[in-house]
């Protein structure tokens, strides 16, 4: 891979409703099911894509999501889909009886837990394998932080099981709010559907946050 040529052919873009088809094509092509959470949920590629595609139009309507595309082809090769709280309830339509969202709903709202009134959530970050190693995920998170500051958010957070994103979050000054162990999840019927499943070394989901405005918490550090 030629590092310089790849970088020079890329441009950062804000993803909006006008880019809906472009984003949905990227999701269908590049979102994979071999991450710990998706493996725990035993999701198929079709189920995973349908879950994201159901939400994506509402997320793009916020104009807070970003991507990289090739200048020469216009092809989207990396993206993140962000949401704004407390005004994000309408962005998550009913996605059916999805065990993934039943699990996520038990984790809670990081913004409420840290006491932020307005906050952004960085999510659904994905980079085409062809462009791995160029720091695009870091650039997407940096752009999201800058956008959060621009619109007056008090904090930004993210939920991740990805060890690579853990390193990025730590490097950028994010704090760990809590860890949610997959095997401790209790479903609505009292069962533990993830208990005993082995999906490799990542056995928990980590919730990160970063203050974007001075608080007593940040001023005391």
How far apart CA 61 and CA 64 sit, in angstroms, is: 8
The pLDDT score that the predictor gives to residue 110 is: 92
The pLDDT score that the predictor gives to residue 176 is: 95
Q: What is the DSSP letter of 96?
A: -
Q: What is the pLDDT of residues 40-58, one digit of tens each?
A: 888 888 887 887 788 888 8
Q: How many CB atoms lie within 10 A of CB 4?
A: 7
Instruction: List, in order, residues 6 or more apart from 62 with CB less than 8 Å away.
Output: 82, 83, 84, 88, 91
Q: Which residue has tokens 């997959």?
A: 182
Is the pLDDT confidence value at 4 over 50? no
Any idea which architecture 3-219 has in CATH?
Answer: 3-Layer(aba) Sandwich (3.40)
| More confident site: 215 or 4 | 215
The pLDDT score that the predictor gives to residue 3 is: 44
pLDDT bracket for residue 202 (50, 70, 90): low
Q: In angstroms, how far is CA 1 from the centroid of its own chain?
A: 27
Sheet of 65-70: strand order equals 10-15, 65-70, 76-80, 126-127
pTM above 0.75, yes or no: yes
Helix (H, G, I), strand (E, B) or coil at 152: coil
Q: What is the pLDDT of residues 208-218, one digit of tens each?
A: 999 998 765 55
The pLDDT score that the predictor gives to residue 191 is: 92
Average pLDDT, the chain: 84
The pLDDT score that the predictor gives to residue 5 is: 46
Percent of the chain residues past pLDDT 90, beyond the cut = 49
Question: Based on the number of CB atoms within 10 Å of its own CB, is 130 exposed (0-12), middle (13-18) or buried (19 or more)?
Answer: exposed
Cβ–Cβ < 8 Å for 112, 54: no
Is the pLDDT confidence value at 154 over 50? yes
């Amino acid at each position: 891979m030629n590092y310089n040529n790849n970088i020079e052919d890329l441009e950062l873009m804000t993803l909006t409703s006008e880019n809906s088809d472009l984003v949905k094509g990227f999701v269908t092509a590049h979102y994979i099911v071999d991450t710990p959470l998706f493996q725990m949920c035993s999701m198929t590629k079709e189920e995973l894509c349908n879950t994201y595609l159901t939400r994506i139009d509402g997320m793009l309507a916020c104009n807070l999501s970003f991507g990289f595309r090739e200048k020469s082809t216009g092809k989207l090769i990396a993206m993140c889909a962000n949401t704004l709280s407390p005004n994000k309830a309408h962005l998550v339509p009913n996605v059916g009886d999805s065990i993934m969202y039943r699990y996520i709903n038990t984790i809670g709202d990081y913004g409420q837990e840290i006491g932020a009134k307005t906050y952004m959530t960085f999510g659904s970050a994905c980079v085409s394998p062809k462009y791995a190693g160029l720091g695009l995920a870091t650039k997407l998170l940096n752009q999201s932080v800058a956008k959060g500051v621009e619109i007056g958010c008090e904090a930004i957070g993210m939920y991740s099981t990805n060890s690579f994103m853990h390193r990025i979050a730590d490097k950028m000054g994010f704090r760990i709010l809590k860890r949610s162990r997959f095997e401790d999840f209790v479903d609505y019927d009292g069962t533990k559907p993830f208990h005993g499943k082995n999906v490799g070394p990542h056995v928990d989901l980590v919730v990160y946050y970063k203050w974007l405005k001075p608080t007593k918490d940040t001023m005391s550090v």
